[in-house]
Every structure is written in structure tokens, then in C-alpha cells.
Amino acid sequence: MGIRASRPRHPRLTGLPSNTVVNTAGPFLKWAGGKSQLLTTFSDFLPESFDNYFEPFVGGAAVFFYLRRNRPLFRATLADLNQELVNCYQTIRDDVEELILSLKEHKNEAEYFYQLRAKDPLKMSEVERASRLIFMNKTCFNGLYRVNSKGKFNVPFGSYKNPRTCDEANLRACSKVLQDANIRYQPFEAILKQAKKGDFIYFDPPYQPLSSTAKFTSYTKNSFSSEDQERLAETFSRLDKRGCRLMLSNSDCQFIRDLYKDFRIETVQAMRAINCQAVGRGRVNEVVVMNY
Ligand SMILES: C[S@@+](CC[C@H](N)C(=O)[O-])C[C@H]1O[C@@H](n2cnc3c(N)ncnc32)[C@H](O)[C@@H]1O
């Protein structure tokens, strides 16, 4: 797959970052659908403790970073189907100092941005790819990640005055809390082979669009279809029968409510501004599904 294989670096609990040390790590990317604004609401829903945590649609990892700050030690498996994103987490875990050096070399100029955007990340080193993703996320218009059908990043330059392209302190803090994380480039179904009874899994898939013009599912070159939502609901049911603790976010629509009708469904409100159509702007309802 042209990317480092995921590898649990320390398979035992010993050596995991201690929650007694103050840890301030938080998302280092702006990611569509990020959950930072919902963490206070989520704190009532998240289990108090668990040994193993899985986040199969990790995106900006707001929930993982929150749990690292607020829960006792746990082993984490973070996964996503966006190869650049997965490489970024692996690089922050394994090579954060090289990454910081590389981030300091970028120039916040349109011509430079478009040259870098045109480059093929598969021909770059892992550090260069991670550095490219962070830099472009901070300097592109609206700070989002979107690719076209060929998988090429296609967001224009944002012309921001002083974008924070290298937050050294946060990158080092993230590296610390990622040291023991198993970071994988894999589709969500792979979790069926990995999770066992008692494990906690948070699913934050691309949301089911509320209308055909309101969709933002371009995190990867293959967008997330209704059939994918159905396969996810089947995966959820199978993991429920196995005895895993499960929590899932999605948009509040009848299709999703029907898929999870056998489970507890809470409604939460989020500010969403990713769509250019009015329907995706402002305060919108989202659902949180739980099997506990
Ligand atoms: C809504 S975002 C996650 C947001 C994240 N929880 C946060 O706080 O920023 C959904 C993620 O799912 C990933 N994704 C899309 N299709 C996938 C699939 N089939 N399997 C695994 N991940 C997928 C996307 O690359 C994207 O990062």
C-alpha cells in the first residue's frame, strides 16, 4: 500500500503515557466533522474506563485526544482510509522532530502552495508527506481536506496572514500520547478482526447527507454511500453481539434512525459550516447512538 504497515509498538499496558502527567495534546489538523465542539456533551456518554479503545474513522481524533486527557490508561487503535492522514499520525508518533524541522521550511505563498499541492505525495518521504498535509491544511481555504475523484487534494490557497503551520508544543504533546497507539490504514470493517468483548469503539463515519446538495464525504477518493452506512450498521450489530461497548455519531435523519432503531439514540446540536449550501450551515442536529 506504499505506507508503513501499522505496528503496535508496545503491546502491553506498561509504558503507556501516564494520565498523572498533565497532557494538553489536541487535534493538530482542522478536519471536516471534527468533534472538538461536542466533547463537553460527549463527556456524559463516554464510558468511565476501558482497556482497549478503537477509533476506526479517526479524522482529527478529537475524541481520542479528549480520552487521553480524561480517562485512565488504555491501549488505542486509530484507523482511517485516508492514507495521507494515517501517514501523518505515524510520522508524528515516530519522527516528530524531523517533522517540525520540515514544517518550518514552508512558505505561506500562493505559488509555493500550488507547487506543493501538485506534487505526488507517493514520491515524497514520509516526513515530507506529513509536513505537506499539515502545511496545506493550515494554509488552504477554510482549512479542510478534500480530494477529487482521483484522490488529489483540490482545495485552493487561503491567503491567511499568519497561519499556525507549526505548533511545536502541540505536535510534541501529540507524539507523546501517540507513542503506544496502533495506527492503521484500513477500512472500518477491519475492526471486526480486532475488537473483543469489553472494548470501547467510537465510530465517526462521514455523515449521511441530509440532501443531495449537502454532502461532504470527500475525505477519500471513494465517497461514503448509503450502502456503506448499511454495512457500518451491520458491523455495529455484530460488535454489539460480541459484547463491545459502542458509540456512533451521524446526521439526524430517518435513514440513520432506522438503521439503529434497536439502540439508544441521543440528539445533540453542532455548528456545521462545511457546506456551501444553506442546509449545512449553522446549528444542526446530530445523533449519537450507543449500545449501553
Ligand atoms: C467525520 S470524519 C471523522 C472526524 C473525526 N472524528 C474528528 O473528530 O475530526 C470521517 C473520517 O472517515 C474516513 N473514512 C471514510 N471512509 C472510510 C472507510 N470506508 N473506512 C475508514 N475510514 C473512512 C475519512 O477519511 C474521515 O477522516
CATH number at residue 153: 1.10.1020.10
pLDDT tens by residue, 26-79: 999 999 888 999 999 999 999 999 999 999 999 999 999 999 999 989 999 999
Which of 169, 197, 228 terminates a domain? The answer is 169
- Nearest-atom number in ligand 1 for the CA of 219 is 25
How many angstroms is it from 229 CA to the middle of ligand 1? 12
Same domain, 261 and 198: yes
Residue 165 grid cell: 503551520
pLDDT of residue 212: 59
Question: Is residue 1 a part of any domain in this protein?
Answer: no
CA distance 95 to 15: 19
Question: In the sheet where 200-203 sits, what is the strand order?
Answer: 182-185, 75-80, 52-55, 200-203, 245-251, 282-290, 264-272
Does residue 77 sit in the same domain as residue 112?
Answer: no
Residue 244 has pLDDT above 80, yes or no: yes
**pLDDT tens-digit readout, 282-292:** 889 999 999 99
Asked if 193 and 54 sit in the same domain, the reply is yes
Determine the Cα–Cα distance for residues 73 and 69; give it in Å rounded to an integer.
10
Q: Final residue of a domain: which of 139, 169, 199?
A: 169
Whether the CB-CB separation of 188 and 235 falls below 8 Å is answered with yes
Q: Is the pLDDT of residue 208 over 60?
A: yes
Atom 7 of ligand 1, nearest CA residue: 34
- Residue 85 pLDDT > 80, yes or no? yes
Counting from 1 in the atom list of ligand 1, the atom nearest the Cα of 63 is 8
Instruction: Report d(CA 269, CA 121) in Å as an integer.
Output: 37
With bands split at pLDDT 50, 70 and 90, how would you rate the model's confidence at 8? very low
- Beta-carbon contacts of residue 284 (< 8 Å; ≥ 6 apart): 210, 251, 252, 269, 270, 271, 272
Q: Is 178 domain-assigned? A: no
**Mean pLDDT estimate for the chain:** 89
CA of 82 to the centre of ligand 1 (A): 8
pLDDT for res 96: 98
Cβ-based neighbour number of residue 154 at 10 Å: 13
Report residue 216's pLDDT band, with 50, 70 and 90 as the boundaries. low
Q: Is 108 exposed, middle or buried (0-12, 13-18, 19+ CB in 10 A)?
A: middle
Ligand 1 center to 186 CA (angstroms): 11
**One domain, residues 77 and 205:** yes
What is the distance in A from the centroid of ligand 1 to the CA of 120? 22
Lowest-confidence pick of 29-33, 75-79, 99-103, 122-126 = 29-33
The type of residue at 129 is: R
**What pLDDT was estimated at residue 12?**
40
Q: Which of 115-124, 210-219, 280-289 has the highest mean pLDDT?
A: 115-124
DSSP H or E stretch at residue 118: helix 110-118
Measure CA 182 to chain center.
14
Residues 222 and 134 both lie in one domain: no
The letter for the amino acid at 117 is: R
Q: Is the per-residue pLDDT at 210 higher than 90?
A: no
Atom of ligand 1 nearest to the CA of 55: 6
The model's confidence at residue 188, banded by pLDDT at 50, 70 and 90, is very high
Give 80 Cα–ligand 1 centroid separation in angstroms: 6
Q: In which element (H, E) is residue 264 found? A: strand 264-272
Cα 104 to ligand 1 centroid, rounded to whole Å: 28
C-beta of residue 286 within 8 angstroms of C-beta of residue 249: yes
User: Mutation test of ligand 1: which of 53, 146, 183, 220 has the most ligand atoms closer than 8 Å to its C-beta?
Assistant: 220
Contact 121, 132 (CB under 8 A): yes
- Does residue 212 sit within a domain? yes
- Do 197 and 77 share a structural domain? yes
Render the burial of 158-181: b for 16+ CB within 10 Å, e for the rest.
Answer: beeeebebbbeebbebbbbbbebb
Nearest CA to ligand 1 atom 8: 34
CA end-to-end span of the chain, whole Å? 37
76: its cell numbers: 488505542
Pocket test for ligand 1, best of 30, 35, 58, 256 (most atoms within 8 A of CB): 58
Residue nearest atom 11 in ligand 1 by C-alpha distance = 57
Are 262 and 283 found together in one domain? yes
Under the banding of pLDDT at 50, 70 and 90, the label for residue 144 is confident
Residue range 93-117: average pLDDT? 98
Cβ atoms of 269 and 284 within 8 Å: the answer is yes
Q: Whose CA is nearest to atom 5 of ligand 1?
A: 59
Name residues contacting ligand 1 (CB within 6 A). 31, 33-35, 56-57, 59-60, 62, 80-82, 85, 187-188, 204-206, 219-220, 224
Residue 1 has pLDDT above 80, yes or no: no
Give the domain range for residue 76: 36-81+186-290
The arithmetic mean of pLDDT across residues 4-25, rounded, is: 55
Q: Phi and psi of 286, rounded to 5°? A: -130, 160
